[in-house]
Amino acid sequence: MRNYIKIFTVIALAGFTACEDPETPKPVPATEPSDFSAKFLFINATPDAPGLDLYVNNVKAGATVAGGEGQTAYTTVPLTSNAVIANTNIRSKAATGTIGGTLGSSDLIYRAGNNNANNFTATNGFSYTVIALDSINRPQPLRTLNSKNVGDVTYYSYQNSFTATKIVGGGDTTIHLNVKNFGVDTESSTAYASANPVTAFNLVKKYNGNTNPSFMTPIGVVPLGSSDVGGPRYFLWRDFFPTFAPGDETIKAGFRVLNASPSLGTLRIVLKFVSGTGADIPLNGSGSAYIMSNAGGQTPSVGSNTPNVTAANFTLQTIAPGGTPNTYTIEVRNSGGTVLASIPNVTFTPGSNYTIVASGFVGGTGAEALKITEVKHN
């Protein structure tokens, strides 16, 4: 005998009436003359989006960037000041046509909060790296309710059902989950996506030996009236460069890495020693992984993310013993050490700083293949 339980996601919808598009706030005029400015550099780490243009304060900043590539130089942008903050609007547009996916013809907008359209607060004289990441088909985070009709944690699942056996009274029970596939993890061959309420999670947990199901990942409580439409979003770093000790600027370079692949699993970035004097350099450090796929590390669950950088976020590595730069192959490896993507015969300039980003899908082909982006900052 087989019993079937169908779970329907309960979504709280909020209606709003406004005279203007909340995603396109009106420019805030300066209240006094300002000579403030900041520098911006753009990386397009989306695996399936077209070429994108970065706009800061509604003015194109720098060159068009294809998927898996980054700009080669910063663009200095004037900042609007009201004597308190620097009100900076950040968005991306498709270089031609539309972005597609869940965004369609809409711009990819940096949101300072989960459910608002507030601008970024840039600081005079600072440098920022703006990274667009995740699949354009990432589903919209949906607000779900618990049994008391109160907003509660939403869970993504990469399985569309769960079957529990050995049910009291005989037979088994199949629990159908809400799934909207947009990709497949090639290592486990499982599709991933969906939004399910805590009631579904608790029911699966009950029939899973009172154990949390590994295929259901919490993404937090989606805010009421969230304007997050799904698809890619931003990771924005303040470029806080390290201080080189006397003599280090001739033998060392600074590195930071970001795992922006929506594929499941842990990716490691390694500088594989090729020639010179030295050894392999593993670059993955604390906080380097930033997987934003549905069943990956949901940080943030909605909106964009700006790490709170108060100290140098580049790590110095010796890449030129004796002042002569070594040659390396930049490799992306999985947890088992298998090389998934690489850039051969790379040398780095002592005294400079680099960001290395892994993007694309593990096992993907063409434009969606796993990629490595190397950006030199100075």
Range of the domain at 83: 37-134+231-236
Rounded to an integer, the average pLDDT of 220-226 is 78
Last residue of a domain, one of 186, 218, 250: 218
Rounded to an integer, the average pLDDT of 247-251 is 94
Domain co-membership, 127 together with 191: no
Do 198 and 155 contact (CB within 8 A), yes or no? yes
Please give the DSSP secondary-structure letter assigned to residue 11.
B
Last residue of a domain, one of 236, 266, 301: 236
Which of 54-58, 189-193, 269-273 is predicted least confidently?
A: 189-193
Q: Is 355 a member of any domain?
A: yes
Contacts of 9 (CB under 8 A, 6+ apart): 142, 144, 178, 195, 196, 197, 200
Q: What is the pLDDT of residue 152?
A: 92
Domain co-membership, 162 together with 289: no
Q: Is 298 a member of any domain?
A: yes
At which residue do the structure tokens 């990942």 appear? 217
Domain co-membership, 113 together with 205: no
What is the rounded distance in angstroms from the CA atom of residue 112 to the CA atom of residue 106?
18
Closest CA to 372 of 261, 255, 237: 261
Q: Is the peptide bond before 300 cis (omega within 30 degrees of 0)?
A: yes
Domain co-membership, 62 together with 120: yes
User: Which position has the higher pLDDT, 271 or 82?
Assistant: 271
Q: What is the pLDDT of residue 53?
A: 97
Please give the DSSP secondary-structure letter assigned to residue 250.
G
Domain co-membership, 175 together with 263: no
Q: What is the pLDDT of residue 113?
A: 64
Q: What is the pLDDT of residue 97?
A: 94
Domain total of the chain: 3
Domain co-membership, 259 together with 349: yes
Q: Does residue 189 surpass a pLDDT of 60?
A: no
**How do residues 284-323 score in pLDDT, each as one tens digit?**
743 444 444 433 344 445 567 676 677 788 999 999 998 8
Which of 36-45, 122-131, 193-202 is predicted least confidently?
A: 193-202
Domain co-membership, 144 together with 250: no
Rounded to an integer, the average pLDDT of 132-156 is 85
Domain co-membership, 97 together with 160: no
Domain co-membership, 184 together with 317: no
Is pTM, for the whole model, over 0.75? yes
Domain co-membership, 261 together with 363: yes
Domain co-membership, 62 together with 149: no
Q: Is 177 a member of any domain?
A: yes
User: Which position has the higher pLDDT, 345 or 231?
Assistant: 345
